[in-house]
Structure 1
């Protein structure tokens, strides 16, 4: 009998009777792929022909510009769905590369089979629509942060939401800037009283000061 325990945790199947999910998993091809840390799940501009279900592990998605510069879009922990907004797109290419940060187990559902299942199960359809709507909001905020705010504004938003920085180089990559530029702005924020340097971390000391910059 098909083991569906990992599928039960995926948001797109939330609220679906276990019997219905078991019937679905037994009637379609649910390819299971195992990845070691540092392997590519998908490359930017490659075709997205199925729904990628992250059952275990952690991944990072990033964009690479024509100049080779990389910008981290997000990091996801299982259970989650990878790039759901693009599987049914007319030009269904991955806009990002996805690389594993730990050992991962990923199931892939053919998009035509997933579409049929969503028509059969309205709760799955609603979950999927909610998922891509939430991702659209996330990406809109990401675009706003990069296109309409300066580095101090983008950094202030990140600090306001996360509270501390443990790895400056990783955050610089995420924000698409050089580390010296990041350190310069952090120093300014420290002088303003918004953050302070504690050993190898940068921690927020006054969130209201951060709010002034976004």
Structure 2
């Protein structure tokens, strides 16, 4: 058991290593190891459970009827998935979760999560807080899709990240540009082209995953 990973998980951040043995005593859970490229959860799988990544990283993918695949998120050690389906009447997973590396995941069933609610009120509070944050994340995705041009989508994302990272001039991309393009639902070549244009216009500067806003007022005009 990787107690260090659990301690860093938002659901258990109120616990220390010594408290976990007592908290999980009598609670049913299981741990499974996955190889790179293996499905952790398949889309439309019917199973009410949450997963906590103890080791490695996974990718949340959505495959559309046309065959197009979009990466919705990447999760690393200590992060959680499956909360949205845990208490849903329709507990089918709307996405697939694929292991990006050799990964180890701890699973808790709906019954086990309810037992933890009753056993540790702080766990319930963290669960509700985490769920609220996920709703805000999805709302942000919807807002991005509401913009029609690539520049608008990029601009909205940059301002959102500046707010999240508490910065008024620069951000660090939370993922690679390939994943960023999928997140914005645009072609990678289109993302690179528009970023190059914005750099040549002196609006932004790029260095790896670091993006510096050089003309804030000009950037604001993109979404006004």
TM-score normalized by structure 2? 0.80
Task: Return 53-62 or 153-162, whichever deviates more.
Answer: 153-162
Cα pair 2:36 2:102 within 8 Å, conserved:
yes
Does residue 190 of structure 1 match 2:199?
Answer: yes
Residue 63 of structure 1, CA deviation = 1.5
Task: Extract unaligned runs of 5+ from structure 1.
Answer: none
Task: Name the residue aligned to 1:213.
Answer: 222
SS at match of 1:27: coil
CA distance in 1, matches of 2:141, 2:18: 38
| Match of residue 47 from structure 1 | 46
Aligned to 1:119: 118
Match of 1:37 in 2: 36
Deviation of 1:41 after TM superposition, in Å, equals 1.1
SS state of the match for residue 51, structure 2?
A: strand
Are the structure 2 counterparts of residues 194 and 110 from structure 1 closer, same or farther at C-alpha, using a change threshold of 3 Å? same
* Match in the other structure for 1:204: 212
The runs of at least 4 aligned residues of structure 1 exceeding 6 Å deviation read none
Cα distance, 1:134 vs. partner?
0.6
CA RMSD of aligned residues (A): 2.8
Contiguous gaps of at least 5 residues in structure 2: 162-170
SS state at 1:63 partner: strand
Partners of 1:52 and 1:83 within 8 A in 2? yes
Q: Distance in 1 between matches of 2:5 and 2:205?
A: 41
For 1:193 and 1:149, how far apart are their aligned partners in 2?
23
The counterpart of 1:171, out of the listed 153, 161, 180, is 180
Paired residue for 1:85? 84
Tell me, yes or no, if structure 1 residue 130 matches structure 2 residue 139: no
Closer/same/farther in 2, CA of residues 210 and 99 from structure 1, 3 Å limit: farther
**Which whole-Å CA distance do the structure 1 matches of 2:206 and 2:115 have between them?**
53
* Partners of 2:48 and 2:110 within 8 A in 1: yes
Residues 61 and 70 of structure 2 are in contact (CA less than 8 Å); yes or no, is this contact kept in structure 1? yes
CA distance in 1, matches of 2:30, 2:59: 21
